[in-house]
Amino acid sequence: MCSGDGIDAVDTAVLLGSLVDKSLVLADLTDDGARYRMLETIGEYAAERLDESGERAAVERRHLTHFREYIRTADPELRGTDQLLWLGRLEREHENLRAALRRAVDLGDEQEALQLVLACGWFWEMRNYHTEQLTWPGVVSAMGPDPFTDPPTLEPVEHGPLDAPPPMAGEQLDEARRWVRMMQLVTNAGDVEHRWGEPDVARAGRAILAAYPPHLPQTARRPGLMSPFAAFLCGEFELLPGLVDNLVQSCREFGGPWELAFALQIRAKMINDVMEKLDQSMDDVRESRELFRQVGDRWGMTEALSAEAEAAANGGQWLRSADCCRAAIALARELGSHQQVPILSVRLAEMIINGGDLEEGERMLRAATEDADGFGPVAGGAAFYGRVLLCAMLGRRGDLEEGHALVDEMLASPLKGVPQFVHGMLRGIKGWLTARGGDPEGGMLLLRQGLDDLTGSVLTEVIAPRIGMLLVPVAVTILVARASSDGRIPGTALSEAGRAATMLGAHDRMRPTASSPLERLELAEAQRDLRELLGDAAFDTAYAAGDGLSAMETIALMREED
């Protein structure tokens, strides 16, 4: 039954059966076949015998090679019709994959470690293995040279790093090293605000952009699909629209259906908060969703539905957005990608509120926010957004004490993964609550502090215009309260009312998304009060003055001292 090199393959089943009969090996029957394991005591005895034989290194190398090939060939299956089957298989083999990766790192075998971590990356992403995502790309990246030191050759690379077993050579190896470094940078995206501007991060961003122009086939596959993210690393934010357009163009020319679908949903998410581009965003979403459906990728369909939900909400289509959220939640749960559920659940609750069912929407919002807390940093953004929405509800109905407590809690314990500039938004919300509680002076002080935080962020160029417009209703409410309060100098009150009217004009022209019904009601009340304070003619003149303001000029107007 044995050859010179070990057990003959044809005899494996017979030998296993014999060991099972003797209770030396246990057989676990699953829907996907039988799996064999040893009791711990038998395993320890077998390990001792292995050490005595002097064959441990060879056996461990065979284990490493087997599971490298297992995950390398399984990786494409995670984006097709059999992804549920393969996700189950990889869950069962995850300890073996971890052991193989640890072994490759311990041996200093960079190429084996590269292929293992790159092939595991999509599985980790789908099943929220955040610790692995945070740890292994950095460890493996450190095993080789910096892939961003030398300029790229800009030659076509026809085969990706996972297309064949090692060894990789030349540009294929460079691609693998770039990929693992990009995995590390993308996974730490929540820390961009703290590291933005650091020379090594900015250099990596510029190198990624240089390596993936649209005319090269490698731009239309991983890691090139992640290249637009590099604009954040090097601060070239103005390049983002062109980069996502180029990515779609490259995928149409060189990519398959999955790659094109991925690029389209990325572009949809990038542009769906620009009102004049909502039609294009919806077109991208529809095409992306159909392509993902054709290849059978539930994860992709979930992402496309999420993009559609966001675009529909930004256009004020509350019911459509809610339907997309429900469909996406069902797919994410079927897939076992439960980390996708919190933000979808928060958005669904928001749409229920915007649709008019305030009681049910609030119940869902509180539940979704609590659920998001259980996912840790990966759902930090969902938990934060849910609490901001809840603060808005509480403030508008007069539950100011709970609203303040919620903001204070977020300010005291910032959610991991949420950039520091959100402090500015939180202080603005607290100023709004303070003004609604009868202290417009205190509210204005808090708003100005929040705007200082906002404009002092390294990401001001990206976030200030959008968040600044979202804070305009806060500023208007505070200014109206100040102008209407007893004891105000008449000229000062009129000046504040005029500023508020000008901000309203800028807001109505530049706000990137549709206002919620509750916000529209608040702004309508503010406009009514401003017309009473100013008179119709003066209001119309001040309102029209906002038409020529930029976002940063509007923010400056909010910060003005009277």
Mutual orientation of helices 460-484 and 517-534 as an angle, nearest 10°?
50
Residue linked to tokens 């102008």: 483
The pLDDT assigned to 511 comes to 77
Per DSSP, the three-state class of 256 is coil
Q: Is the pLDDT of residue 2 over 50?
A: no
* pLDDT averaged over every residue in the chain: 87
Taking alpha carbons only, the member of 425, 354, 420 closest to residue 387 is 425
Taking alpha carbons only, the member of 75, 113, 110, 114 closest to residue 93 is 75
- The pLDDT tens digits of the residues spanning 312-341 come to 998 899 999 999 999 999 999 999 988 889
Cα–Cα–Cα angle for 240, 242, 246, nearest 5°?
Answer: 115
Q: Is the pLDDT of residue 225 over 60?
A: yes
The pLDDT assigned to 486 comes to 59
Q: List, as one string, the DSSP characters of 157-171.
A: --S-TTSSPSPP-HH
- Mean pLDDT, residues 183-207 taken together: 74
The pLDDT assigned to 267 comes to 93
Residue 70: pLDDT band by 50, 70, 90 thresholds? Answer: very high
Q: Is the pLDDT of residue 113 over 80?
A: yes
The pLDDT assigned to 489 comes to 58
The pLDDT assigned to 536 comes to 94
Q: Is the pLDDT of residue 3 over 60?
A: no
**What's the burial of 559, exposed, middle or buried (CB within 10 Å: 0-12/13-18/19+)?**
middle
Instruction: Report the 10 Å Cβ neighbour count for 340.
Output: 25
Q: List, as one string, the DSSP characters of 98-136.
A: HHHHHHHHHHT-HHHHHHHHHHHHHHHHHHT-HHHHHHH
The pLDDT assigned to 4 comes to 47
The pLDDT assigned to 243 comes to 94
Task: Yes or no: say if 282 and 311 are a contact pair by the CB < 8 Å rule.
Answer: yes
Task: Yes or no: say if 452 and 444 are a contact pair by the CB < 8 Å rule.
Answer: no
Distance of CA 194 to the CA centre of its chain: 17
The pLDDT assigned to 417 comes to 46
Amino acid at 129: Y
Domain locations in the chain as residue ranges: 1-54, 58-144, 420-562
**What's the burial of 488, exposed, middle or buried (CB within 10 Å: 0-12/13-18/19+)?**
middle
Q: Which residue has the higher pLDDT, 190 or 268?
A: 268
Task: Yes or no: say if 470 and 389 are a contact pair by the CB < 8 Å rule.
Answer: no
Residue 1: pLDDT band by 50, 70, 90 thresholds? Answer: very low
Taking alpha carbons only, the member of 299, 303, 256, 247 closest to residue 79 is 299
Tell me which H or E stretch contains 17.
helix 12-21
The pLDDT assigned to 252 comes to 97
Which pair of tokens denotes residue 148? Answer: 């961003």
The pLDDT assigned to 491 comes to 66
Taking alpha carbons only, the member of 213, 304, 295, 285 closest to residue 253 is 213
Q: Is the pLDDT of residue 23 over 80?
A: no
DSSP-assigned beta bridge partners for residue 498: none
Portion of the chain with pLDDT greater than 70, in percent? 88
Residue 16: pLDDT band by 50, 70, 90 thresholds? Answer: confident
- Mean pLDDT, residues 97-101 taken together: 97
Residue 188: pLDDT band by 50, 70, 90 thresholds? Answer: low
Q: Is the pLDDT of residue 293 over 90?
A: yes
Q: Is the pLDDT of residue 196 over 70?
A: no
d(CA 347, CA 177): 37
Instruction: Report the 10 Å Cβ neighbour count for 352.
Output: 22
Portion of the chain with pLDDT greater than 90, in percent? 56
Instruction: Report cis status (omega within 30 of 0) of the bond before 414.
Output: no
The pLDDT assigned to 56 comes to 75
**Three-class DSSP labels, 482-495:** HHHCCCCCHHHHHH
Residue linked to tokens 């603005």: 428
- The pLDDT tens digits of the residues spanning 468-526 come to 777 889 889 999 988 887 556 566 666 888 999 999 999 888 877 778 898 999 999 99
- Mean pLDDT, residues 144-172 taken together: 92
Task: Yes or no: say if 381 and 418 are a contact pair by the CB < 8 Å rule.
Answer: yes
Instruction: Report cis status (omega within 30 of 0) of the bond before 167.
Output: yes
The pLDDT assigned to 374 comes to 80
Q: Is the pLDDT of residue 34 over 80?
A: no
Weakest-pLDDT range from 7-11, 193-197, 322-326, 411-415 = 193-197
The pLDDT assigned to 66 comes to 96
Task: Yes or no: say if 40 and 26 are a contact pair by the CB < 8 Å rule.
Answer: no
213 φ, ψ (degrees, to nearest 5): -75, 160
Q: Is the pTM of this model over 0.85?
A: yes
Weakest-pLDDT range from 40-44, 197-201, 260-264 = 40-44
Tell me which H or E stretch contains 332.
helix 318-335
Which pair of tokens denotes residue 163? Answer: 């297309």
Q: Which residue has the higher pLDDT, 324 or 25?
A: 324
Taking alpha carbons only, the member of 557, 64, 81 closest to residue 301 is 81
d(CA 98, CA 136): 10
Taking alpha carbons only, the member of 294, 232, 230 closest to residue 260 is 294
Task: Yes or no: say if 326 and 289 are a contact pair by the CB < 8 Å rule.
Answer: no
535 φ, ψ (degrees, to nearest 5): 90, 155
